[in-house]
Amino acid sequence: MGPDPVAPLLLLPATGRNPCTSHDPSILSLQEILTHCRTLPPSRRAFYEALLTHGDVVAVRVNYLPGSLLWLVTTPTQARLMREGHDADADVEATILSLQEARDLLTTVGDAVPATVYEAAAWLLAPPPEEPQSPGEGSSHR
């Protein structure tokens, strides 16, 4: 399918503006990307539009993954299609998770079970919980 012209756009510094329902500049819906990225080749646009027929797709910028790009998709079919369509020679590495895979990950670490890819994205971007301090640890009293 060739290099993905959308992925590099997602790695640009956040502008602070994101009309996505999350209002987080690190989360972009695929629908928004398609609306604003007019330079997509027709075959790539058709591929993304076909993905959206199966459910929501969001791109998330996270600094703890290779390439800092995470695609969250609603269904396992979308995840399979994106993995098959990923260009291994592209300059951008991406991680692709279905909603169920994100749920499994989040419940493993004790977080809530997200109902949507937007909720999963918000949980995956949340700061880690603070570690409880032992009595006397971190205390400024001597």
Residue 63 DSSP one-character state: T
Total domains in the chain come to: 1
Domain-embedded: residue 47: yes
- Find the domain containing 69 and state its range: 7-125
Domain-embedded: residue 11: yes
Domain-embedded: residue 95: yes
| Average pLDDT over every residue of 57-76 | 87
Domain-embedded: residue 20: yes
Which runs of consecutive H residues, i.e. helices, occur in the chain?
A: 7-10, 30-36, 42-52, 76-85, 99-108, 117-125
Domain-embedded: residue 137: no
Query: How confident is residue 38, by pLDDT bands cut at 50, 70 and 90?
Result: confident
Domain-embedded: residue 130: no
Domain-embedded: residue 43: yes
SS3 content of the chain, % helix, strand, coil (to 5): 40, 10, 50
| Average pLDDT over every residue of 97-110 | 91
